[in-house]
Structure formats: structure tokens, C-alpha cells
Structure 1
């Protein structure tokens, strides 16, 4: 999840968040053993992938010069999306609908995250809520090679399964194949990302760049073997240029990647940063670097973006967001934008949401621009 390169502050949640976790646990039941007996969302780990989704592909594909291609690249403009956290009752639909009401439009794309526990809450691709939202929106599923230790990764604590083990097929039968079959049964095309912000996972013990590439290609090959051709593959990095060498080593190759994703923020006073970077300054360096050093052939997704507030100038957030339509037109490879609508700690200076005030006003204005008005395909 977001900004792993920002350091341990991202994971150090305070008592406010712990209370929310307690409520989640009370509502969902005690976490059981996950993969290999690790603590995690093992509530349904005994029967991963049961109750396959219905095929959601329906209707006719959009036509015309602006219609998206087979890899979901819109011919004109870009998709407008967001990551919205679950509410304390473990609903995703309610907070998404509430967010859309605030911003005055339907999202094109909803981004969600999953672990590899096999549990129904977080380890099952295409939950009932995702399927509901996917009826008239695109979905982006991020699948982490970890087992989370609390519902919806509330405190970002997890157990690594290891890229070497993924590449060796250790989890194919129990975890990976059943979830691939779920995605195949869904039918409709979805964006899919394996271990997003992968450049930050090396220091977390996931493995080496070579092991990641092997794991990624193994997963890709399993999808192809099982016929889940509706996955559109997004290779996502933090985009932090201090990890430039690692990002080069982690790229699986153009044959295995449909989109490239980047997660860049204006943290300002959050996570020990001090400089204010406007939207252009926060995004363009990584955008340019990826095109020059990874691939100029692929569409780019701003898979997570947001700005922290400036307590001395609340209106600064409004300007940051309202500048997006003009700036993004000068970055033609960006074909999707996904706002990270979640605070990274309980500190007000790390509140990246656009739920109210100048931030909401700027974001709402940006999302109303015609550049972000595309016809979402139904299949």
C-alpha cells in the first residue's frame, strides 16, 4: 500500500486507529491461522475461491475514437479513480457511494488491495462488494504476497510469503490457482497488480529483484495457463527515484506488463519532508524517468497520488488538485489516475484525504474536467 518508501511512520498508527481495528475484529471474528499457519485472515482459508463470481462481462463495447482498447487504454483522456478504505463494518460499497456523492461524479475505477491468506475478508479476489462496484466501474486489484495480521491491513503488519516461494509454485494449489479461477469466472476485464510498490518490498524481506521477476512471471504464466485472460497487468512501483537501480532490476519486461504504475505524493510536513511540491513537481520527475529508463511503450497509471495539507495555508490543497487537468494534458502517457483517500497516520499533517474543505473543492473541480469523462466498458 501507499508510500512504503516513506518509512516506518506510515505503519505507526495511534490509539485512534487501534480502536477502529478492535471494532473490525469484533465485527469480523477472531483472526485464524493463514497460509502456513501464519496469523492472518484465515476465516475462510480452508476453502479458498469457493462460490465463484458470476460472469460480469455484458453489453457491447464502446466504439469510436475515444473507446478503450483491449488493454483498457482510453483513446481520449484518462480514467478517474480512487482507493477508498473499508468502513468499520467492513463495507466497501457504502464508503465508495458516499465518496462519489461528495465529489459529484461516479468513479471510473475503484482500487482495492488483497493479501494471499485465502481468507474471505481480504484474501479473496473479487469480493461481493467489489463485484457490486464493478457492475459499472473498472476494478483495480492489488495482490500482495503477504498475509495481513488484521482486517484490511489496518496497521500494515504482515507476514511475507517470499518471492522465491511464489516462483517455485509453493502456493499454487492452495492459494494462487483458486483465486485465478475466481478472476477468470468474473469475465470482465480488471486491472491487476502483483506486489505494488515492489521497490520498497526488498527491505521488508520479500526477496531479491531476480526472485521478484521470477515470481511475477510465474504468476503471469499461471493466469495464462488457467485462461484468466481478462487480467490487465499493471507493474507498480513507488516511483521514488532513490530506488532507481532497484526499479530497473525489478521490471519483468514488456512482454509481461500492460501498464506501468507509479505512486508519488506531496507529503510536505508529513513523513519528515519539508518541501511543498505542486502537482507537476511531485509527478513529472518520476513520469519522465519511467519513460526513459523502464519503457516508453506502456501507458502509465498514477496508481496512488495525493497531497498533504499545509496548515498555514489550507487553500494550497485546492490549488494542488485543481491544477491536475492542465498538467496531465502535458503527460499524455498517463491514462489513469487513482487518488489515495486515506490518512497515513492519525496526525493531521498526514491526512491525505479529500473528504472536506479546500482539498475536496479542488479534487471535485479536477474530476469534473472533460478529460476525465470516459465511457467505462461493460466487459
Structure 2
């Protein structure tokens, strides 16, 4: 979330369906329906198309469900993925979240972000010292929420890595992630789909420990990235949609290429994305929004994109909203209207 401190496709959709499915779908996707519609499988991977989602109302203090509904009206499409954030012993899924997921007229799936280690360390989580917290969550989900859901553990872990002995090293994160997912599965949470979500920032990808963050294919269902671009020229991370996917350390490879080459069986989620400019400026984001569809057509492993919308980021200096200029909103609504995002949850 910018650090927590944050070709019209109608005529060609059928022809690119198989291409968009790619190697991930070939291994895990459900069979195409007789009507040719795009649907999700047991791990929420669509057999064609791309899941569309949002995290709206960030840093406002307003109810996330209401902000999500308002954003859907603004953008012109139901945001199928409803992204929310929790930490420690917070009670979730909340009633509001469950209600959103059970809306028959606008079906949605929860993307729950959870900092299990909150108030402690990854090493303590891995050692079983927070098992009561994990087991309480498992029992709550089993008794109240049988629907499928995405679960992200400590998104953007790179920014939280500390020195050896802190309990917060890259290897500690991987061990923590493994422990939580395995324990939740052992408790019978078969409706949980795990996501590891990185910042994918070149600053961190250059670190010697970066490779140690990955928890393992056996506990990771989806690989995600939280990444943003500036619509302002000559400003930090200025670029288009491809740039937020392709950041790399010197002499390294881009994040999308790393994920798809090292873990080709894993679907790829852009778990947070957005185009920003400095607060108080009016900058057209059309170029950024218009660049999305061509990139999705070239990157078949991307199965979901989730926009993070806020008028002010965590530091209060960046506007990531889709309606900061009329031209930006028009371009975003055109993007949202693409049939590529017509994916039915099942």
C-alpha cells in the first residue's frame, strides 16, 4: 500500500482465453463451461480472464465495506476481490466482510491481510508461541465462514526484515508463513487460499537475504506483488503498468519474470497496484490506466489485479485515487468495462 508505514478485448476474448490461462491454468484451472464463461477453481484461479478487485478507502478511517461499494459505483464495475487488513488478535472476518462476500447480486471474495506476528516476532510465530492466536482464527472461520477466501500473511515483508537475532529475518518470515499455513490447514481450513505478497522493490530485491523470504511452493497458492507507479514524469517510480511488474535489482530479473520462471505453477496476483501523483497536483493518469490491458494480454500468469485507492497514502503526500482528474476516471472506467474481468466465482 505504498508502504504500510502503504484493443478492446470484446472481439478477441475467446481467442486469448487459452493464452491468458497459460501454464498455471493448464495445471490447475477448471474445465471451460459450456457457455464459454470464465470461472474460478478450488484455488480461486480463473480458467480465463482476470479477477478484478480493490482496496478502497485506505487511511480514511471510514468503513471499508461502504468505501468498497462507493468505489464500485465510481469505477463502474463490481470489484470481485474485497481486500481488507487485520493484525494480531483482531476478530475477523468481520460481519461486514462476510456480508460483502455473501452478496448474491454482487458476488465477491475476501482477500484478508493478516499480520499474525503483530506485537511479537516471526520467530515466535514459527516456534508456536502464537498458536493460540492462529487456532482462534481457525475456529472462528470454521464456525462462521465456509466460503473460499484469500489469506495474505504479513504483506510486504521486505520492509520489516531486521538483523540476525531480531526474530525478524527473511528466514524467520518464511518459517512463520510456513507454520501458520500448515497449522491452519491442519485445523481443517480447506477454504483458505494462501498468498505471499511482496513489495517487489528493487531496493529490497538487491539484498542478499531477499531469496530467503519465499516460504515454499507447498504452502504458497498464489504469488503477489504490491507495486505502484507515478503518473508524474521525473518523479519516484514514474512509469506505466509494465514498470510496476518489472522492477529489478541490478543484474537481476524483473519481479514478474522471477515469479513465473522460479515458480511457474503459481498464479500471479497484483495484490495492490495504483497510479499516483503528489497531493495537490492534477496529473492525468490515462497513460497508466490505458497500459493495463496490453500488459495483461502479454503476461498470462496474472490472474488477479487489485487496485489500492486512497486520496492520501500513509505519509500523506501521494494521491492514488482513480478520480483525481476527470480524464483519469474516464480512462479507468474504460479499463474496468473490459470483458476480460468477467469472471464468475464458484
> d(CA) in 2 for partners of 1:251 and 1:283?
18
Correspondence 1:230 to 2:191: yes
Q: 1:230-309 alignment to 2 at 5 Å?
A: 230-244=191-205, 245-267=208-230, 273-274=235-236, 276-284=238-246, 285-292=254-261, 294-309=262-277
User: Which of 138, 149, 163 in structure 2 is aligned with 1:180?
Assistant: 138
User: Which of 56, 67, 75 in structure 2 is aligned with 1:84?
Assistant: 56
> d(CA) in 1 for partners of 2:41 and 2:194?
14
Correspondence 1:335 to 2:303: yes
> d(CA) in 2 for partners of 1:273 and 1:356?
17
Taking a change above 3 Å as real, the CA distance of residues 89 and 111 of structure 1, as seen in their structure-2 partners, is closer
Residue in structure 2 matched with residue 221 of structure 1 by the alignment: 182
Q: CA deviation at 1:360?
A: 2.0
Any runs of at least 4 consecutive aligned residues in structure 1 with deviations exceeding 3 A, and if so which? Answer: 61-65, 86-90, 203-206, 267-270, 272-275, 310-313, 345-348
> d(CA) in 2 for partners of 1:251 and 1:287?
15
Q: 1:116-135 alignment to 2 at 5 Å?
A: 116=88, 118=89, 123-135=90-102
Correspondence 1:112 to 2:87: no
Q: CA deviation at 1:125?
A: 1.9
Which ranges of structure 2 fall in alignment gaps of 5 or more residues? 7-30, 247-253
> d(CA) in 2 for partners of 1:224 and 1:265?
32
Contact 1:323-1:366 at 8 Å conserved across structures = no
> d(CA) in 2 for partners of 1:302 and 1:190?
16
**TM-score after normalising by structure 2:** 0.79
**TM-score after normalising by structure 1:** 0.73
CA deviation map 1:289-308 (0-9, x unaligned) = 2223x412100000011111
CA deviation map 1:278-332 (0-9, x unaligned) = 112222332112223x4121000000111113788722x0121122112211111
Contact 2:5-2:315 at 8 Å conserved across structures = no
Q: CA deviation at 1:203?
A: 3.6
> d(CA) in 1 for partners of 2:53 and 2:237?
27
Taking a change above 3 Å as real, the CA distance of residues 197 and 89 of structure 1, as seen in their structure-2 partners, is closer
Correspondence 1:164 to 2:123: yes
| Greater shift in the superposed pair: 66-75 or 252-261 | 66-75
SS in 1 for 2:46: coil
| Greater shift in the superposed pair: 132-141 or 272-281 | 272-281
Contact 1:111-1:141 at 8 Å conserved across structures = yes
Contact 2:231-2:283 at 8 Å conserved across structures = no
What is the number of equivalent residue pairs in this alignment? 301
SS in 1 for 2:218: helix
Q: 1:207-218 alignment to 2 at 5 Å?
A: 207-218=168-179
SS in 2 for 1:111: strand
> d(CA) in 1 for partners of 2:301 and 2:56?
25
Residue in structure 2 matched with residue 11 of structure 1 by the alignment: 5
SS in 2 for 1:181: helix
CA deviation map 1:187-219 (0-9, x unaligned) = 111011111111221049661122222211111
SS in 1 for 2:343: coil
Contact 1:300-1:335 at 8 Å conserved across structures = yes
